[in-house]
Structure 1
């Protein structure tokens, strides 16, 4: 049965430096939950607090309602997959996977049965007699994953498990990890700095920066409705422009230079002439050579990628932006062509001038 993880107001200090100061989050039973953020943001520190490698200076960590702060690491019944695999080079695949079961004094016949079962789940049962030096990076990672989950832990923790793999193998392994996690049904906490990886595998994501959670949400909501400018620019690509709120004629507008956009989803805190930051994903622009409406720009270069074409444009104020359009709909626009960039009001994001707060009202379908 899957368990919940509750992290309540935890604090972590190293000497005089406070790395995490009062962080709280809840992971649901059976959930694939990802901690995402840049290097040094505290995500691995938090993971190490959960498994017991790091002390906890304040707050509580609970597994299924039980406080584990003072429980030794080897008594926490957790599986861990490390960035460097940490498999034993002198042991075969089978012996690596059986290691945790032997430490728990499981009968030999039961060990063999459980090892065989988990090797089939991770699809390396044909390699059980092979030594680690004869395995590819992806196969070694599957061994590490099998070893972590064969002991039937309550929680699976994964720290940058794909960072040592090449790009193609990372995609293959992230799909395998998600499939295996769903098949086993274990509550999983996953750490990565790779935004695409987090979007691909997670049920929910906590975006961290400087030891502080910026947003917890589904991958779709984090991408489409970031809570602040940091999340908007860290997750995927965003073009950021200065704008102004215009409350006139009974309507709410966002003015970007001479271009105005009617908005019906801004909250009631906005005021006339309020300076704002406008965030537009590259694929959310509408680029046109013919329209007189939109932000004036010049195409500086383009990259044709088959299904899509990426345009790199420069606006009149010298701002460089990226625009992505479907190649089968839009003709390729030559370099140095004047264009207009329109936006889709329902898709753009608007933040206060400091970028700390979204001014968009979240709707059920958004």
Structure 2
């Protein structure tokens, strides 16, 4: 029997468009509790696959018939088996998620943020399954990438579609929650790979040091990517001001939260840096800058087109992390009762330093789970 499938791109559209969907997740309970496909109008039933091997009678009364139902597992095999049983039981609205949560974790949804000077363009790549955000600046046939994730072909193919050559690749910091695609993209395209030197002291490959105040020009129209040293999440964290209008804040400032300072074991040491960046360095910038972070926490931060952005002045009014006057209270907030650290974050850091080189499947396993770079 052929079971209908639903792709992660179709799921992504439902998330962005806030459509209804019923998800039958057949992973074990712990995995479901830790990480699932999030949608504002999604409903869920978690029933482990092993409870359904002998039949689906126990859940038939809980499966709706008035909307689409997608069965989800880790990689797509178990969901197809369960979906087949439901179809045999008379449900004609059931799909299996193609590739499962593995595919969901890796899907990138490109969203155009703005037209820049002299025909330039700015794109945001939304990784809905991990809450990661990457960026591409295009100008006069040249492209620059900021905080690219490991699905490198997506960025390379997109640049080719736009008839642009990737000339520069930037990382705002040494990532601990996901594997950077920066070095691989630079190797494939010949682009310059820029890293903040204070985060790169242990890396095992060549890179271009990105110093505070460095201004990299993209294309003949010279769209500016200017570095702003902004430590706190890591000792080397560096933001970028793009085209004088956009603040790429990395993992320092998000729409509804702020960055955590503990992913290299330095929470107590880096709290002062974090506060200095948020309450002084950023405060000195124009309130009209549009903040484009490297992550988001929940889907309510997505605009109708799927983008994540907000003016800096609005964040100073609305983001609690920017409005804690008492320094001791701020220190307590960002060092005590933090959320769990990202899965395999130490291995991810070592990978991003070039100290270890895991196979592709291992990299996928290392990244399983939600984004956990924020303090709210």
Q: Do they fold alike, i.e. is TM over 0.5?
A: no
For this structure pair, what is the TM-score category when the shorter chain's length is used for normalisation? Answer: under 0.3
Using the size of structure 2 for normalisation, the TM-score is 0.27
Identify the structure with the greater strand proportion: 1
Q: Which has the larger radius of gyration?
A: 1
**Structure number with higher relative contact order (C-alpha < 8 Å, ≥ 6 residues apart):** 1
Identify the structure with the greater helix proportion: 2
